[in-house]
A and B are shown apart, each in its own frame.
Chain A
Amino acid sequence: MNENPVALGSEAETSSKTAVKMRGTGVDVFYGDKQALFGVNLDIPENQVIALIGPSGCGKSTFLRCLNRMNDTIDICRVTGEITLDDQNVYDPSVDVVELRARVGMVFQKPNPFPKSIFENVAYGPRIHGLARTRSELEEIAVTSLEKAGLFEEVKDRLHEPGTGLSGGQQQRLCIARAIAVSPEVILMDEPCSALDPIATARVEELIDDLRQNYTIVIVTHSMQQAARVSQRTAMFHLGYLVEEDETDTIFTNPSNPKTQDYITGRYG
């Protein structure tokens, strides 16, 4: 029995309270008459990875797309409630959407490099955002971004070949490099590995873990194991509601909501 209070090799998990980078408060989303999200309150902690999980149609991608106003591109979509980035409402009329999307970058499910060279794919964003004054500055940004995305070594001899010629996993890392190139603060990832093989998936997951040092990451994934591996916090959506949000370790070993339990164990149906 436990009479010994001294833990062996106790590794005190640094559960220090991290700052909130983005915050959703009472977020409702409507597509025409149909309501897709109902009063979602969710904090996105800074320099952490938060995974959004839930069955198809639960609203997790809808919520993700609210964070950088990607839903603005859908005419019938209406968002109410508040979403803040560093305490500023991103839906405020004064917010420049282009600048917002530079601060809150996005990586999609299918790698979608521009039909341009590898270099141009990464240099495009910094150039239009005026982040580089000279050619050498632009090159530096491109190389650094490719390095951070763990791709530079593989492509350094063919920077001027088409990005579309890379393998699927390399293309996805190119898209991540492209997102990093404009120095975002938050990176949104919508099932970034669902089109990749296990090795390419492992490389992207490793990369996500590295990127966490400098960026805040929100990832939508259908792979429970991936959510468990890469995230520190997990939010479970169901039928447009946020049903549970907690530390990832807790969600996957001892969730408190029966819906979460059923979904992650494969009993939801």
Chain B
Amino acid sequence: MNNTTADHTVTAFDDDLRFLIGKVVEMGGHAESMVARSMNALARADKSLAQTVIADDVVLDNAQRELEERAVLIIAKRQPMAHDLREIIGTLRMANDLERIGDLGKNIARRASEIDDAIQPKRLLRGLEHLTSLTLEQLKDVLDAYVSKDVDQAQAVWARDEDIDQIYTSLFREMLTYMMEDPRYISACTHLLFCAKNIERIGDHATNLAETTQYVVTGQSEIVPDPQDA
């Protein structure tokens, strides 16, 4: 466990660590916002909103690059050990997952700007919005767990991913049914299918973030499911 409260003898090192953690939190907020807006753009067929999400992706790319460069410098200069090392490796992993989440959000936004809104099956959209709001909840929770170093909360996020997988599976079946019933839906449904897959992937990244949070705090990467929940 992280038993250290003391500041580092070299104060600049604490500044370095704070910079990295702050960058992860900043990226997390940005990734959440991109996913939420991409879903709004899809639901409301708002092509200009979709364009802002697509344009926003570069912010995450730049933030990740900045974080990585700083982390490499810190490792070279300070040769961190123990929880400091895990903290830095953790920010690198988190940044990678958050950047991917941003990519997936951008991908949804791209499809939002391509879908012909005249033939959108509204019922399916509601299912997709539900999936998205659950996933965003996961993302928010895991970022909270990361900031407060709360392993229990991180593990809870990890365990809840199964719910998202189940909803995705039923949504997938529903979309297939729509397409079979009315071929005019095929084009829109295919886009929605990919959007749903992207959301499900974002959920997987949230479980990665949960694992990283646990690793940073305890040194253990793997989360073992609670047998009582099985």
Contact = CB atoms under 8 A, between A and B. Distances in A.
Interface stretch (A104-112, A209-217, A258-266): A258-266
A261 B83 contact: yes
Given A1-B207, A2-B222, A265 B79 contact: no
A266 B161 contact: no
Contacts of A38: none
A253 B4 contact: no
B222 A266 contact: no
A252 B82 contact: yes
A264 B81 contact: yes
A254 B3 CA distance: 11
Contact of A265 (B80, B158, B207, B218): B80
A73 interface: no
Nearest to A259: B3
A225 B79 contact: yes
A234 to B, nearest CB: 11
A2 B222 CA distance: 8
B81 A252 contact: yes
Contacts of B207: 1
Interface in B3-49: 3-4, 6-10, 13
A254 B9 CA distance: 20
A18 B114 CA distance: 66
Interface string A42-57: 0000000000000000
A254 B89 CA distance: 13
Contacts of A254: 82-83, 86, 218-219
A2 B210 CA distance: 13
Given A2-B222, A253-B219, A254-B219, A262 B6 contact: yes
Given A1-B161, A266-B9, 16 more contacts: A1-B207, A2-B222, A225-B79, A252-B81, A253-B81, A253-B85, A253-B86, A255-B82, A258-B3, A258-B4, A265-B4, A265-B81, A265-B82, A265-B84, A266-B10, A267-B6
